[in-house]
Structure 1
C-alpha cells in the first residue's frame, strides 16, 4: 500500500501503483502524480473524459468515449496537453467529422447573418422604422400576418405571370399560318416556247451578273447574322407566342389583362423595394434585380408596340418575345426565402469540390466511352466522336433517350459498362450532398421548434434526522 497512489475524480476513487504512473504516456499527468507526495490526488475534471486520459496514460491507446461530447473531449486533450492526432483512427474520424460540421455550421450562420435583406442597425426616425417594416414585409423577414399575406400574393402573381405565357402557347391559342388552298385547273396544252425571248433573257442575266453577286453578298451577310438565332431557335418566336394584339383578336382577352395586372404589381413591388432598401447601389447591381428590371422594361415595350400597331415579323421587336422565357427567374425570388432552398443553395456551394470531382469523373468517362463506341459501331449510327459524346453522357447519367443505340456485341458490352459506372458514380457522390443538406436543414429548423414549458411545480422537503431523506412532491 505504500507504493499505491489514490486519485479522486468526480466521486470515483482510483488506485494506481507508483511504478505504473512513472511509465505512463501523459507527461503532464505523470508530473502531477510524481510531484504529489501525499499519495492522494483530487482532480476536478469531468469523470468520463478523464477516464479516457487515464487509460491512455496506462496503455498508450487513446479512445474517445461514446457518451462524451467531442467538444468536451477536445478541451480535455488541451488541458492535459495530449495531441489529438494521438487518438486511434476509429475515434479520430469522429472527432474530425464533428469539427468539420462545426466549421460548416459556423459558415452557414455567417452566410445567413450577411444577407442584405435585413437592416444592419435599428432605425431612429419614424419614417425609417416604417421603411424597415415595409422592407421586411417585402422580403418576407417577419412572421406577422401582413408578411404571410404578401408572400401568398406575390407567389400567386409570379405563377400567374409564368403560366399566363405558358398557357398562351397552347395550339388553340397560337398563331395559325394561313393554309394554301389548291385550285384544280383543267389540263391545257402548253404553248410553244418563244426562243427570241429566252435569248434576250439570258443576255440580260449575263449583263447583270456583277450586280447580282454584290447583292447576294449583302444578303449572305444578313443571313450570317441570323445564323445563331435560327440555329438555337429553329422556329420564329412570333409564331409560338401570340402578341397582345393577337390575344385580343382571337378573343382571349384574359391574357391581355393578366399582362396588365402582373406588370402593375411587379412595378409597384420594384418601386417600393427601391424606396425602402438599405443599400441602393448594392441592391441595384444585384443579378436578380437587373433581371427583374429588364423583364419590366420588356413588358412595357410590348405595350408600346401594341399601341403603335407594330407587327412581330422576325424583326428586332421579336426580341421582346424571347425575353418572356426569362419570367421563370422570378420564382427564384420567392424560393430563396424558403428554408429548404437556402440550405440547398448553401449545400451546393459547400460541396463545390465534390461537384468538381463529379464533373471530372464524367469528363473522363465521356472521353473514354465515346472513343471506344465510335470504333465499335458503324458510322451510320455514330457519325463522329463528338456525336458519341452525347451518347456517353446520356448513358452515364442513366437517362437513355434511345436516339443512338449500339448494335454490335462489343458496343452493347461497352454500353453496359458505361451505365454501371454512371450508377456507381452517382451512388458514391450524391450521399455527400445529402448528409450536408440534412445536417444544415435540421439546424435551420430549430428556430421553428417550440419546447413545452413545465406545467407541474415540484417542491423539495427534507427531514432533519440522522438519516437525511429527500422527498419529492408534485402538484
Structure 2
C-alpha cells in the first residue's frame, strides 16, 4: 500500500517453486495448489517445475500449459488424493495423451475408470480390424501402360468389387441368382418326382447288376433311387450351365487378378477351384455311366458319391457376397474375434457332457439304451443343447435328476459365451456403420478416383 498517495497497489503473485503456493494456468483455467502437493508424485512433470522451466510466465507469475483443463482437473486431484479418476465425457485416446504429457503412468488410473481406457483400446482394435479386413487392398491405382492393363483392371473391379460400379452390382446380383439356382438344383435333384428312369445300354445294365449284387442293404431307398434314376434333363442342363458360368468366371477372375500369389491365399478362391473341379469330374463320371464307358462297381460308386457329397461345398460361394453385403463380412469378423469364447464354449460343453454322460451311464445301469459311455455322452450333448431327439431317455429317478441338472447346466453354459459373441457382433456392426457413413460422406468415387482418373487419362 502506498500510504503517501493513499493508493492500494496489488502485489504480484509469486508462484515460484521455492514458495508454498503454485499458480497453474491450463488452457485459460487457473488452478492453485502447493509445491508440497505436487511433490507427492515425483518423476512427473508437475513435480519438476521450477522458475527456469519453459512453462513459467514471469510476467504473470504462473505456469502456463496449453492443455485441456477438464483432463487436468482430474490429474491435479490425483496429486491431492493419490487416486486418478477419469472424466467420462472425454475420449480415452485424448486422456491417454494428457497422461503422457503430464508424465503420469497409466497404471495409476483407478480400477473403476479402467473400463474407459479398455473400451478405447477395444474400439481401436475393432476399427483397425475393419480397416484391414475390409479395405480394397488388391486395388492397383498406378497409371496403366497398355490397353490390356486398363481392361484387366476394369474386369477385375467388375468381378471382384461389386461396389465399384452399377454394372458390377448388376453382375453381382446375376451371380447370386446362379448360386441360388445351383443350390436349389443340388437339393431338388434328390426328390424322386424330379428324377427320371435311366435309359440304360447293355454295358451299363451289366455294371448296374453287378453293383446291385454287391450292395448288402437291398432296402436302401437312397441307393436304389441313385441306381435306377437320374435328375430330370432340364435340371441336368441347368446345372451344367451354372457350372459353366462358375468355370468361366473363375478363369477370368484368375487372369485379371492383379497379384496371382494372393489369389491362391484366399480361402474362397480355393473353394471355387475345388467345387468347379469336382463338378466337372462328377459330370464326366455321369457321362461315362450313361455311355457305358465307366463300368459301374461298388468302388466306383463310392468314389462318385464321395465327390457328389463334397460338391455341397459350392454353397460356400454365398460368402462371396460378403464383398457386396458388408454385414455378412462383419458377421464373419465378429465370429473370428470370438474364437476364444467359442473355444471356451466348446471345451465347457465337452467337459460337462463327459461328466453328465458318465453319471448317466451308471444311473441308468439297467437301461439297455445307455449301453456305453460314448452313447451316454451323445445323450448329454443332445440334452445340453435342448435338442432332445427322444431316442435315448432316462427311466430311473436318479437318471431323470441327472438329466434335469444336465439340461439346466447346458442353458447356463450356452447363454454366457453367446452373450459375449453377440456383444462382439454389435461392436463390429456399430463401428462399421459409422465407418460406412464416413465413407459415403466422402464418396466411393474418392476412393476409386485414382483408378478412374487413370482410365480417363489413358483413354
C-alpha displacement of 1:284: 5.0
What secondary structure sits across from 1:13 in the alignment?
A: strand
- Is 2:239 aligned against 1:259? yes
**TM-score, with normalisation over the residues of structure 1?**
0.74
For 1:106, the equivalent position in structure 2 comes to 128
Structure 2 CA distance for aligned equivalents of residues 452 and 107 of structure 1: 21
Would the aligned equivalents of 2:126 and 2:431 in 1 still touch at CA under 8 Å? Answer: no
Structure 2 CA distance for aligned equivalents of residues 16 and 32 of structure 1: 13
For 1:78, the equivalent position in structure 2 comes to 100
For 1:382, the equivalent position in structure 2 comes to 370
C-alpha displacement of 1:81: 1.5
Matches within 5 A, 1:337-376: 337=322, 338-376=325-363
Structure 1 CA distance for aligned equivalents of residues 374 and 175 of structure 2: 45
Structure 1 CA distance for aligned equivalents of residues 250 and 37 of structure 2: 76
C-alpha displacement of 1:26: 7.0
C-alpha displacement of 1:394: 1.2
- Is 2:279 aligned against 1:279? no
Larger Rg computed on CA atoms: 1
Task: Give the structure, 1 or 2, with the largest relative contact order (CA under 8 Å, sep 6 or more).
Answer: 2
The 3 A distance-change label for structure 1 pair 280 and 17 is closer
For 1:206, the equivalent position in structure 2 comes to none
For 1:69, the equivalent position in structure 2 comes to 91
- Is 2:276 aligned against 1:290? no
- Is 2:146 aligned against 1:162? no
1:53 to 75, 90, 98: 75
**Superimposed CA distance per residue, residues 140-184 of structure 1 (whole angstroms, 9 cap, x where no aligned partner):** 34331211111111111111112113112223235789xxxxxxx
The 3 A distance-change label for structure 1 pair 339 and 269 is same
C-alpha displacement of 1:67: 0.6
The 3 A distance-change label for structure 1 pair 240 and 8 is farther
For 1:323, the equivalent position in structure 2 comes to 307
Would the aligned equivalents of 2:246 and 2:276 in 1 still touch at CA under 8 Å? Answer: no
C-alpha displacement of 1:422: 1.3
The 3 A distance-change label for structure 1 pair 26 and 364 is same
1:146 to 136, 156, 167: 167
**TM-score, with normalisation over the residues of structure 2?**
0.76
Matches within 5 A, 1:360-439: 360-377=347-364, 378-439=366-427
**Superimposed CA distance per residue, residues 365-393 of structure 1 (whole angstroms, 9 cap, x where no aligned partner):** 01110110000012313111010010111
Structure 2 CA distance for aligned equivalents of residues 288 and 140 of structure 1: 18
Would the aligned equivalents of 2:22 and 2:35 in 1 still touch at CA under 8 Å? Answer: yes
C-alpha displacement of 1:66: 0.5
The 3 A distance-change label for structure 1 pair 43 and 105 is same
For 2:201, the equivalent position in structure 1 comes to none
Q: Point out the more displaced range, 312-321 or 122-131.
A: 312-321
Would the aligned equivalents of 1:175 and 1:240 in 2 still touch at CA under 8 Å? Answer: no
Structure 1: runs of 5+ lacking an equivalent? 178-221, 454-475
C-alpha displacement of 1:271: 2.3
For 1:191, the equivalent position in structure 2 comes to none
1:171 to 192, 206, 212: 192
The 3 A distance-change label for structure 1 pair 388 and 176 is farther
2:317 to 325, 333, 338: 333
Q: CA RMSD in A?
A: 3.4
- Is 2:459 aligned against 1:442? no
What secondary structure sits across from 2:145 in the alignment?
A: coil
